[in-house]
Amino acid sequence: MIKLSRLLGAGALGLAALAAAPAIAQNYPARPIRLIVGFPPGGINDIVARVVGQKLGEALGQPVVIDNRAGAGGTIGADLVAKAKPDGYTLLLGSVSNLSMAPSQYKNLPYDPVKDFSPVALLAAAPNVLVVNPKFPVNSVKDLIALAKEKPGQISYASAGNGTSNHLTVELLKVLANVDLVHVPYKGDSLGITDVIAGQVPMMFPTLPVALPNIKAGKLRAIAVSSATRTPLMPGVPTVAESGGLPDFEVSVWVGILAPANTPKDIVDRLSAELTHIVQTPDVRDRLAALGTVPDPRDAAHFATYIRSETAKWSKVATAAKITAQ
């Protein structure tokens, strides 16, 4: 009888938990939501998080608090969300860097980009842009390739850190052009750009939204964009494929929102619906476009598939570039 009563009690608790799940989702959100960004303020991840986070807070009736947890190519922030309670109150502004590039960069990655998250929605994408110090004697990707072949291992480039998009963008260039460039990692786009402006490092491949103000101010010279087509914000700047004679070169820096794995489906579905709507509203679309970022709304299922395909792509790049996980 005691065993039976215990079994019945356990069963009742299980049923109660199942019954409570829809109620929790129905009342969501009842308090502020934390959106973790794995990079410092000023980068594409932070920019999109603040534009979209404000609108999401308005739609949900609760503040969305941006929490920058920079370091290790965005993996520190991603790990925090992977281990967070799956209740919809801790979300990740994830990117190609910490979701699809990190697996081939970090030997002991503390999270599984596929198993440890519930993708919510892909939001936007932007090209990287090859920028140089104005005094650097390069006016095209072909010029850079020629100079790098003359001086193998003597030209350095800055990045936002190991495993970030601007790191692997140059690694892809090195593979396709068969040149040797030296990597100088920083802790974020802004720090790297500062040293390129100062002439400490001659070049970098930051995201367009980050580089654009300094390009407009004449502090950086734009050579080429990583996307398949030119950007309307700089129509006179060619693509890498055009400028370097590298037809297979294309890089898109995308960002999206994820929740910890096992977050209730009702919560994920609601967030996904709100977010895909938000990035298509005229004011958000225009704000992102003005920054050089193109809205690319995809729901949870399509976002999950996209993460897998991008992970396979960048794994091949890392193998070709002979980058070993650290």
**Nearest of 72, 76, 63, 73 to residue 36 by alpha carbon:** 76
In a domain, 7, yes or no: no
Same domain as 86, residue 134: no
Minimum mean pLDDT among 2-6, 31-35, 116-120, 157-161: which range? 2-6
Comparison of pLDDT for 291 and 226, the residue scoring more:
226
Angstrom distance (rounded) from CA 59 to CA 156: 45
Angstrom distance (rounded) from CA 128 to CA 215: 13
Q: Please give the residue range of the domain that contains residue 222.
A: 129-244
Going by pLDDT thresholds of 50, 70 and 90, the confidence category of residue 189 is confident
pLDDT at 8: 46
Average pLDDT over residues 129-149: 97
Angstrom distance (rounded) from CA 161 to CA 183: 9
Comparison of pLDDT for 320 and 265, the residue scoring more:
265
> Of 186, 220, 244, which residue constitutes the final position of a domain?
244
Same domain as 154, residue 76: no
Taking each helix axis as running N to C, give the angle between helix 300-320 and helix 165-177, from 0 to 180 degrees, rounded to the nearest 10. Answer: 50
pLDDT for residue 289 is more than 60: yes
In a domain, 40, yes or no: yes
Same domain as 97, residue 46: yes
User: Residue 193 is part of a domain; what is its CATH number?
Assistant: 3.40.190.10
Same domain as 156, residue 87: no
Q: Where are the beta strands (DSSP E) in 61-128?
A: 64-68, 90-95, 117-126
- 201, two tokens: 């490092």
Comparison of pLDDT for 324 and 220, the residue scoring more:
220
Task: Name the pTM for this structure.
Answer: 0.82
> Of 216, 244, 272, which residue constitutes the final position of a domain?
244
Question: Facing residues of 253 across strands?
Answer: 126
pLDDT for residue 212 is more than 90: yes
Average pLDDT over residues 226-230: 93
Query: Do 165 and 231 touch, CB atoms closer than 8 A?
Result: no
Give the rounded percent of residues in the chain with a pLDDT score beyond 90: 74
Same domain as 239, residue 189: yes
Structurally, how many domains does the chain consist of? 2
Same domain as 264, residue 222: no
